[in-house]
């Protein structure tokens, strides 16, 4: 026997193997990962131990609310000894995946056996929101509550409703059975697809509502627990926000106001076993519920032509839920009603949706069945198109034509599904979810929908109908790459980025304003007001009628900006006598911004360069002050904030210079902000100018993890077991590529990075966007990337079109009052017109290109289209092709040559001209002319232009000036005595000096002869960055100027480039 045991011992071998695979470590922490290892042990006939995971739980947060202790832990729910633990179960109670499988494995097979008995007695599956209990087997708890949550691909509000019901039912079960403690995981945020943010928020909100409304509850202990760090972080964030607790552990008052204290049940999820399908990028879901319960962007109402909503069962239910205001809006906006080919659009009012689309259908006629069904297809398409224009992502349709209109039920599933499918296949769409809503008693409709959908989603038919974005759009001109400088402090990445702050895709944008919060004052405020719309000023006026002080901030929504919120602050003017207290105030107000962003769950903020500009804070003080404010906050607070952007106007080269110098300085100091442990807190400064690969290969989400597993098995099987694990996990990974034909400038790459983080995938960007990760994660990330690229494409088109064409309009009765369409409207109109469309339906209006008119507010407006590229150019220019924007033409004789030669002969007799080139730049000339007209309107009584000024330059700047004109990047190279702008001289001798027109290796010098818009002038001074109000340029002498300094890119046009030598 001893020999047998010894031989058996010799056969057993163990080995630790290090796996480096993308997302592997996080995967193994999940319930799916536990199941995976169990399966691998069976498949490879080995014992596999994960040395990276401990079995202990770590307490993250602990506080008391309404006499109930609420605890947040990171760890394994199966180790807890609470009275009850919650298992996220499926409707069949088959505990075969995720945490459910781990519970059965640890608690014993009797848990599954008892679950089987329950299902045998029920005869049907559990519905979302239902809970049942079983004994706990070998676990430490007394009972297991099996909660059936919703299954989701997108995490819509309907799913949140049933998730909330499931959590509430768990707490009700606890009270009914005299249990006092419970452990709840992040139900269905794993394999069932509920997004972590929405799911954890719903669970926390439901707990608070339950404790608030069940004052006699005996529950004394609620533990929220998960093994995934990001889930625990989300729980922590929402606990702090919903319960109003501080970041330190401790108690919270039961009287703490609760933001949004009503539960947000969103949505309807299927109560029947009807399938759903995904066509293109739109997920179609049949839903059994009342349409008035929908938390969606749009619901559709089938009504009558005169829009009397008290007629018809559906309209009546919508009228009752929305309130009388919806009928009033119909009467006001559509006094003549609608036809069967148009829709009426109103607000949702007291409904849970943003908008209601009202349509009317013809009655069924067997003799005209084809045309009636074709009309149904068209009206559904019209709804989708209008929803798209409104930026909606979700719609709910009733079963159109059913009921009193007597459309044959057998025709409706195909007609409605095919209408959405056709739209999705033909249009890149922002819409994600379309719901077909039916009543519980409509069993025949349920049957037909189910039959049709199952027939059409088997095999590959559904998968093959996906939408692919078109790449045949106009190629946009390439702009200089946006440069970014970045550094890390703790877990926060600080990035200096060159962009307009109104273009920022972040959670919070910070605005430096004035005490009265009048946003039409100050350059940053004006910019944000223009982009956000007047509603941001209205919100400031309503919420902060007394304004704010220098020690507080005002918080508003982002409105039409690309951010969620705007933090408005006010800074004191600079005072040399009191610099320390002013900079301390700057630090404090930034800390307040970060604290408020943290409380709101924000992960990213964008600050302008606070104090620069009109406040005259010294530029040299700002990098350290702003950097240290963020660093100090990060060092003292565990933070969810990942990215802080310092946003600088691209032409403010002095700011760029000072920040870059400071960041490089702290990078050189290896001990600057390292904690001495692992280097993770050290400053890591990078710039995409210095390292192209950093910016062109954006990697986001999880990285390739290093995980060590220990294998114990027969020594002959050891290598096979190791290979099996690697092969099986890699089979779950996939890579998808998305082509793009636009410049990913400014905040575009960070936005793509955030998609990678949200979906736990890796995104890399070179000539294509590559998304790598587990299949389900990649699929959802791809949809978001395509959606974002479409948004970028539309934004680029707006910029492109505004330089090419301008659409305007005027009231027929007041033709002199011509108004310009916005950039978005301009692009929409030009795009539709160039596609030879007869009309464009958008913004609740129809723009008729044949009549060149539209109606609004009962008035008729005429439209005009002006091709800006066709504007008159100088008759001295040589011919240029339609697509030729820039041309340099050498001048060898004629009047132009003689005039310049005469100036050289008189003022620079020791030099001879070697070449003269005329610069013909259509876009630059157009911009100059537009600004010239603006100055002439603002300053009608002065001469706004000086036609012949000189600008000396070096050879390396020629290409940039010829292509883009003069910008402030040229400022400060040779002179800043009268301001930090671009300099021009009246006298050629001045610009011909070597320090301005530096000779090259062949002793050739270069000088431009320019037209300059000087407008209203002011006396310049050293360090001047911002002109006084209404002034357009700075000069050396107001009475007799010889030096002119400009601060606007389009303020000068380089007419001729002259090369000369001695």
Q: Are 948 and 1026 members of one domain?
A: yes
Asked, for residue 473, whether it belongs to a domain, the answer is no
Domain assignment present for residue 480? The answer is: no
The confidence score (pLDDT) of residue 961 equals: 92
Same domain, 727 and 752: no
Total number of domains in the chain: 7
| Boundary of a domain, candidates 731, 762, 777 | 731
Give the mean pLDDT of 300-305. 94
Tokens, residue 847: 């723009």
Give the bridge partners for 916, in sequence order.
891, 1058
Considering only CA atoms, which of 660, 685, 688 is closest in space to residue 672?
685
Span 250-299, pLDDT tens digits? 433 333 222 222 333 333 333 333 444 444 467 887 877 678 877 678 99
Q: Which of 759, 748, 827, 835 is nearest to 792 (CA)?
A: 748
Are 70 and 44 found together in one domain? no
- My answer on whether 327 and 307 are in the same domain is yes
Tell me, what CATH number does 857's domain have? 3.30.720.50
Average pLDDT of the chain? 80
**924 three-class SS:** helix
Region 1032-1037: mean pLDDT is: 92
Q: What mean pLDDT is predicted for residues 26-42?
A: 74
- Going across the sheet that includes 733-739, the strands are 733-739, 768-774, 762-765
**In terms of domains, do 112 and 161 share one?**
yes
Note the pLDDT of residue 391. Answer: 75
In a domain, 124, yes or no: yes
Q: What is the pLDDT of residue 453?
A: 67
Q: Taking 80 as the threshold, does the pLDDT of residue 615 lie above it?
A: yes
Q: With contact defined as beta carbons under 8 Å apart, do 431 and 388 qualify? A: yes
Q: Quick one: pLDDT at residue 98?
A: 72
Which pLDDT score, from 0 to 100, does residue 22 have?
A: 78
Mean pLDDT of 517-545: 89
Residue 891, pLDDT score: 94
Query: What is each CA distance from 683 to 487, 646, 655, in whole angstroms?
Result: 5, 16, 20
- 701, part of any domain: no
User: Are 223 and 104 in the same domain?
Assistant: yes
d(CA 217, CA 229): 31
Q: Find the domain containing 827 and state its range.
A: 804-867
Q: Which residues contact 136 (CB under 8 A, 6 or more apart)?
A: 85, 107, 111, 142, 143, 144
Report the alpha-carbon distance of residue 399 to residue 291 in Å, rounded: 10
* 835 in the same domain as 743: no
Q: Which of 783, 800, 817 is the last residue in one of the domains?
A: 800
Q: What single-letter DSSP state applies at residue 738? A: E
Mean pLDDT across 62-68: 89
Residue 515 has pLDDT above 60, yes or no: yes
Query: Is the per-residue pLDDT at 476 higher than 70?
Result: no
Q: Quickly count: other Cβ atoms within 10 Å of residue 1053's Cβ.
A: 23
Determine the pLDDT at residue 276: 47
Instruction: Examine the domain organization and report whether 586 and 571 are in the same domain.
Output: yes
Who wins on pLDDT, 107 or 639? 107
Task: State the pairing for strand pair 1005-1013/1052-1061.
Answer: antiparallel
Question: 60-69, 699-708, 898-907: which range is least confident on average?
Answer: 699-708
pLDDT single digits (tens) 44-64: 788 887 755 544 567 888 888
Shared domain for 828 and 772, answered yes or no, is no
Q: Can you tell me the distance from the alpha carbon of 743 to that of 736, in angstroms, rounded to the nearest whole number? A: 20
Residue 873, domain member (yes or no) = no
Using CA atoms, how far apart are residues 61 and 245, in angstroms rounded to an integer?
A: 10
pLDDT surpasses 90 at 85: yes
pTM, entire model: 0.36
The model's pLDDT over 204-216, given as tens digits with 9 standing for 90+, comes to: 999 999 999 898 8
The yes-or-no verdict on residue 570 having pLDDT over 90 is yes
Q: Tens digits of per-residue pLDDT, 143-185?
A: 999 999 887 644 455 678 889 999 999 999 999 999 999 999 9
By the 8 A CB rule, do 666 and 625 touch?
no
Give the CATH number, domain containing residue 338: 3.40.220.10
Tell me: do 920 and 939 sit in the same domain: yes
DSSP string, 627-676: HHHHHHHHHHS-----EEEEEE-TT-HHHHHHHHHHHHHHHHSTTSS--S
257, part of any domain: no
At residue 27, the pLDDT reads 76
| 199 token code pair | 């799911």
Q: Which CATH number belongs to the domain containing residue 943 in this structure?
A: 3.90.228.10
Examine residue 574 and state whether it is found in any structural domain, yes or no: yes
Tell me: do 844 and 774 sit in the same domain: no
Domain boundary among 615, 644, 667: 667
Tell whether 105 and 119 lie within a shared domain. yes
Helices (H), 399-485: 412-426, 443-456
Query: Quick one: pLDDT band at residue 414, thresholds 50, 70, 90?
Result: confident
Is residue 272 in some structural domain? no
């Amino acid at each position: 026997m001893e020999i047998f045991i010894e031989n058996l011992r010799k056969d057993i071998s163990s080995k630790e193997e290090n796996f480096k695979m993308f997302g592997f470590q996080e995967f193994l922490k999940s319930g799916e990962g536990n199941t995976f290892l169990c399966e691998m042990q069976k498949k490879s006939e080995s014992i596999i131990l994960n040395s990276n995971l401990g079995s202990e739980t770590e307490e993250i947060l602990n506080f008391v609310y309404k006499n109930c202790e609420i605890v947040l832990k990171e760890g394994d729910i199966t180790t807890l000894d609470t009275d009850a633990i919650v298992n996220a179960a499926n409707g069949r109670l088959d505990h075969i995946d995720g945490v459910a499988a781990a519970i059965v494995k640890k608690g014993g097979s009797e848990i599954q056996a008892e679950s089987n008995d329950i299902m045998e007695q029920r005869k049907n599956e559990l519905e979302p929101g239902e809970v049942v209990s079983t004994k706990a087997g070998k676990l430490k708890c007394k009972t297991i509550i099996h909660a059936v949550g919703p299954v989701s691909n997108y995490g819509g509000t309907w799913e949140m409703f049933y998730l909330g019901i499931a959590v509430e039912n768990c707490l009700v079960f606890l009270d009914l059975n005299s249990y006092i403690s419970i452990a709840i995981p992040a139900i269905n945020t794993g394999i069932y697809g509920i997004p972590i943010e929405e799911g954890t928020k719903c669970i926390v909100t439901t707990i608070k509502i339950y404790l608030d409304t069940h004052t006699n509850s005996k529950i004394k202990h609620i533990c929220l627990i998960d093994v995934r760090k990001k889930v625990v972080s989300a729980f922590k964030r929402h606990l702090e926000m919903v319960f109003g607790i501080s970041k330190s552990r401790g108690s919270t008052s039961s009287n703490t106001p609760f933001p949004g204290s009503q539960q947000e049940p969103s949505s309807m999820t299927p109560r029947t076993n009807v399938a759903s399908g995904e066509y293109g990028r739109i997920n179609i879901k049949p839903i059994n519920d009342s349409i008035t319960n929908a938390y969606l962007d749009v619901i559709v109402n089938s009504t009558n032509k005169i829009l009397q909503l008290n007629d018809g069962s559906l309209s009546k239910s919508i009228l009752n839920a929305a309130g009388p205001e919806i009928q009033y809006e119909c009467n006001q906006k559509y006094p003549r009603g609608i036809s069967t080919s148009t829709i009426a659009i109103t607000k949702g009012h007291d409904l849970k949706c943003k908008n209601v689309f009202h349509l009317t259908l013809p009655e069924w006629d067997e003799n005209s069945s084809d045309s009636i069904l074709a009309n149904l297809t068209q009206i559904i398409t019209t709804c989708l198109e209008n929803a798209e224009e409104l930026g909606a992502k979700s719609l709910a349709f009733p079963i159109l034509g059913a009921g009193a209109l007597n459309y044959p039920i057998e025709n409706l599933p195909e007609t409605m599904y095919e209408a959405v499918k056709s739209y999705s296949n033909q249009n890149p769409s922002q819409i994600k979810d379309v719901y077909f809503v039916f009543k519980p008693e409509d069993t025949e409709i349920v049957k037909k929908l189910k039959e049709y959908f199952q027939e059409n989603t088997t095999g590959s038919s559904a998968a093959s109908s996906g939408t692919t974005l078109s790449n045949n759009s106009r190629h946009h001109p390439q702009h200089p790459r946006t440069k970014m400088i970045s550094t890390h402090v703790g877990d926060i990445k600080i990035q200096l980025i060159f962009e307009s702050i109104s273009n920022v895709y972040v959670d919070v944008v910070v605005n430096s304003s004035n005490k009265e919060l009048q946003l039409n004052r100050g350059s940053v405020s004006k910019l944000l007001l223009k982009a956000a719309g007047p509603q941001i000023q209205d919100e400031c006026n309503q919420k902060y009628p007394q304004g704010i002080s220098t020690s507080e901030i005002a918080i508003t929504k982002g409105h039409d900006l690309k951010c969620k919120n705007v933090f408005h602050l006010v800074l004191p003017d600079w005072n040399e006598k009191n610099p320390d207290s002013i900079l301390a105030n700057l630090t404090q107000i930034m800390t307040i911004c970060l604290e408020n962003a943290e409380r709101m769950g924000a992960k990213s903020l964008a600050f302008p360069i606070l104090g620069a500009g009109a406040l005259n804070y010294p530029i040299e003080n700002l990098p350290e002050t702003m950097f240290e404010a963020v660093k100090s906050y990060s060092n003292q607070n565990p933070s969810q904030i990942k990215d802080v952007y310092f946003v600088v106007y691209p032409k403010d080269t002095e700011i760029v210079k000072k920040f870059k110098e400071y960041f490089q300085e702290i990078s050189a100091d290896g001990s600057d902000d390292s904690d001495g442990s692992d280097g993770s807190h050290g400053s890591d400064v990078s710039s995409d100018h210095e390292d192209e690969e950093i910016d062109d290969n954006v990697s986001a989400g999880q990285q390739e993890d290093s995980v060590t597993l220990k294998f114990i098995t027969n020594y002959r099987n050891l290598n096979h077991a190791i290979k099996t694990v690697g092969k099986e996990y890699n089979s779950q990974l996939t890579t998808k590529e998305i082509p793009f034909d636009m410049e990913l400038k400014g905040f575009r790459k960070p936005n793509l990075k955030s998609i990678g983080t949200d979906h736990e995938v890796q995104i890399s960007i070179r000539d294509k966007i590559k998304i790598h990760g587990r299949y389900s994660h990649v699929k959802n990330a791809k949809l978001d990337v395509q959606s974002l690229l479409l948004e970028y494409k539309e934004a680029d088109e707006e910029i492109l079109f505004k330089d090419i064409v301008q659409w305007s309009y005027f009231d027929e009765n007041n033709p002199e009052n011509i108004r310009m369409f916005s950039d978005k409207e301009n692009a929409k109109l030009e795009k539709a017109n160039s596609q030879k469309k007869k009309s464009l339906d958008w913004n609740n209006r129809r723009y008729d290109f044949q009549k060149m008119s539209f109606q609004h507010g009962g008035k008729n407006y005429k439209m005009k289209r002006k091709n800006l590229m066709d504007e008159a150019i100088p008759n001295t220019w040589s011919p240029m092709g339609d697509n030729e924007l820039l041309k340099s033409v050498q001048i060898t004789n004629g009047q132009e040559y003689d005039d310049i030669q005469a100036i050289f002969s008189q003022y620079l007799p020791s030099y001879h001209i070697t070449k003269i080139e005329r610069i013909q730049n259509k876009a630059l000339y157009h911009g100059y002319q537009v600004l010239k007209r603006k100055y002439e309107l603002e300053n009608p009584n002065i001469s706004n232009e000086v036609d012949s000024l000189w600008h000396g330059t070096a050879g390396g700047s020629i290409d940039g000036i010829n292509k883009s004109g003069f910008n402030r990047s040229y400022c400060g190279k040779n002179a800043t005595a009268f301001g930090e702008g671009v300099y021009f001289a009246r006298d050629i001798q001045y610009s011909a000096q070597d320090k301005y027109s530096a000779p090259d290796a062949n002793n050739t010098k270069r000088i431009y002869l320019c037209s300059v818009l000087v407008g209203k002038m002011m006396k310049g001074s050293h360090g001047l960055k911002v002109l006084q109000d209404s002034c357009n340029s700075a000069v050396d002498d107001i009475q007799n100027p010889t030096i002119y300094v400009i601060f606007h890119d389009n303020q000068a046009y380089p007419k001729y480039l002259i090369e000369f030598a001695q």
